[in-house]
Amino acid sequence: MATDGARTAEQVLESQPHQIVERDGVRYTLLGTAHVSQASVDAVHDAIHSGRYDAVAVELDEPRLAALTDSGVLAKLDLIQVIRSGRTAMFAANLALSSYQRRLAEQLGVEPGAELKRAVQEARQQALAVHLIDREIGLTFKRASARLGFWGRAKLGGGLLASLLAHEEVGEDQIEKLKQGDMLEASFNEFAEESPAVYETVIAERDRYMAARLREIREDTNHDGAREVLAVVGAGHLQGLARHLREDTGPAEVLRAELETLPPKSNIPWFTLILATFVIGGFAWGFWQGGIDVGSDLLLQWVLATGILGAIGCAIAGGHPLSILVAFLASPITPLHPALASGTLSALTEAWLRKPTYADFMALRDDLQNMRGWWRNRVARVLLNFFLTSLGTAIGVWTGGLRMLGTLL
């Protein structure tokens, strides 16, 4: 029952977008919210305090909840381990989302996702079971990236870096999308509009994923056996989520596992293999046809083009002299090896030489808001090192390759 002075569940739903789906003995109330609306925060509070629901599901994953509720969560990260495990881009994606939310909060005066944070806090205070039903943002980013071609991934990575560096006001179109209710769609707005693959992964797949997660909530019952689940999700997910919740068949855990699996990669790294064949073959042809002078010239062109541009990228990022040296030495070699990256080696060196302090992590969100902060903060500088060294090496590969081709022809 609702407490004195609190609105009933019916009264809350009258003024809010919602869908109600009954399946397998469970009644799911999908409450659509806007991620920048105080009215949505109030509606969540009133719905939970209405006394109807046994469990609360929220459009969050563990890292996003931690970012919303624990300001010191970043300080607990081992940055070197993040780089070694190949999660640098995922870490950057979370930082980009955090930076985007910070800009919104300053511009609109409302903390983005405040209604999701309130849902978790209020549910726990009421001793209700809490379920985080959204897919982890890093996994969503990986699946989106895997469905794009080389240039699509390059554009997505460049856009990610640009969003990390951006400090201008958020556009009206993105704010409207937040009012409709999806943080990730607004964050990746440009890419979602231009790429069906990104839209499918960022929006449609997550509707299916959250529906599967909701179907797995069956153990939360009250004393009379009735099951009432309140799902707090962005309004943009209401239609798709309700449809999948009604219509999807088959075991929910199987569908969820499918949507958590990365698309299979080719066992043969074709791009690296073709590049290595061209470069090494070019060296061999130069030495064989032109002798030591031509062969040495081709080798020198490749080393200087990749090494110098990789080192310049590292230097622009404010890298330590030893990090710049590592970038120079690694850049001619790593493009020919599928498991190595000059940006990774340079960033590891930077993180080892200038290990980020607790204060760097705590100041990271503030430092991301201005250009100078990126070079002052050691965590941000390591990320810049990774991206700019990799970018410099990539430019060097094309520059050196074209020069080599010109010499051979």
pLDDT band at 195 (very low <50, low <70, confident <90, very high): low
Beta strands in 217-369 (DSSP E): 228-234
Segment 79-130, tens digit of pLDDT = 888 888 777 777 777 777 666 666 666 676 667 778 888 999 999 999 998 9
Q: How confident is the model at residue 176 (pLDDT cuts 50, 70, 90)?
A: low
Is it the case that residue 221 has pLDDT exceeding 50? no
Q: Which of 318, 327, 310, 314 is nearest to 374 (CA)?
A: 318
| The pLDDT value given to residue 266 | 58
The predicted model scores a pTM of 0.70
Contacts of 373 (CB under 8 A, 6+ apart): 363, 366, 367, 380
* pLDDT, position 224: 45
DSSP per residue, 115-173: HHHHHHHHHHHTT-EEEE-SPPHHHHHHHHHHTS-HHHHHHHHHHHHHHHH--SPPPHH
Q: What is the mean pLDDT of the segment spanning 353-369?
A: 81
| Segment 139-162, tens digit of pLDDT | 887 887 777 766 666 666 666 666
Q: How far apart are CA 214 and CA 210, in angstroms?
A: 6
Q: pLDDT at position 317, please?
A: 94
Q: How many residues does the chain have?
A: 409
What is the Cβ-side half-sphere exposure of residue 222, based on CA atoms within 13 angstroms?
15
User: What's the pLDDT at 3?
Assistant: 47
Q: Which residues of 340-351 are buried (b: 16+ CB within 10 A; e: fewer)?
A: ebbbbbbbbbbb
Distances (CA, A) of 216 to 26, 148, 182, 308, 394: 11, 31, 23, 54, 45
Is residue 55 within 8 Å of 128, Cβ to Cβ? yes
Neighbours of 284 (CB within 10 A): 12
* Spatial separation of the C-alpha atoms in residues 346 and 311, rounded to whole Å: 9
Question: With contact defined as beta carbons under 8 Å apart, do 396 and 310 qualify?
Answer: yes
* For residues 224-238, average pLDDT: 80
